[in-house]
Amino acid sequence: MAEIGALTPDQQRLVWDTIQQVRSSGILTAGGIMGNRVLANSAPIYVKNEAGEEIPAYGCMKVTGAAELDGQNYLEVEKPDSDFDATFLINGPHAIEDGGRGVAQTSNVLRILTDGGTITNGQQWGPVDGEWHIDSAASTKLFRAIGGDDVADNVGRFVLLDSGDLKLFRFTLNEDMGATTANKGDADILQMDGTDTGIDADVEDPLAIFATLESGDPGLCLKQGGSYYIIQAPCPA
């Protein structure tokens, strides 16, 4: 008779996390499995910690790559940085040790670690450079708050924002348009109220309409597909 191999600690954790994902999805009822129900995003998302430190429960994770381990596909994740155009996942209810494996949340309603600030329904939150938690003051908003959650300290419930891939910003040029690259200019990207986002990026002008703009000139730009396109700026004298 063939022996049944023992599960490694990582495999045991994945089995338990997967069970919890299924439970939280609502597919299980007191009588067993609910019939004739299709669940969106019900397949587990397996992740591997490449951050160099432990990922806390419900932490916000940046996806950096993919790998196949023991016949299973994993997404490699690290701590968020200033690249807020990246893809983000939210860890499940267990911390993931450095180099360890875990399961990300797949629900439409996400439990996410916060900075401990007050969570107001409808408020927009986003990832923070160098942190596992999200913050209502983040420059890039990816989540809409529902409210607090008593599952753990500083954890709230959120849903993903409908981004539409479009967002309006102000900018201030740091160089003349086209000084380094044709039809582009390095600029400070600002929120519409003038708050500096901390993002320094090229603003683009594919039709060369704003070719005469100079360093220090302000304007409006629309972010689309990860790029910032000038849509309004002062007319040349």
pLDDT (tens digit, 9 = 90+) per residue, 189-218?
999 889 998 889 999 999 899 999 999 999
**135 torsion bin: left (phi>0), alpha (psi -120 to 50), beta (else):** beta
pLDDT at site 31: 38
Q: Which domains does the chain have, with CATH numbers?
A: 9-160 (no CATH), 166-232 (2.40.50)
pLDDT at site 203: 95
CA distance 6 to 88: 33
pLDDT band at 165 (very low <50, low <70, confident <90, very high): low
CA distance 194 to 51: 33
What would the mean pLDDT of 97-123 be, rounded to a whole number? 93
CB atoms within 10 A of CB 9: 10
Give which of 216, 181, 223 is closest to 199, Cα–Cα. 223
Whole-prediction pTM value? 0.58
pLDDT band at 5 (very low <50, low <70, confident <90, very high): low
Q: Which residue has the higher pLDDT, 235 or 60?
A: 60
What is the residue whose two structure tokens read 């940085």? 81
What would the mean pLDDT of 128-156 be, rounded to a whole number? 92
Any idea what DSSP says for residue 113?
Answer: E
pLDDT at site 138: 84
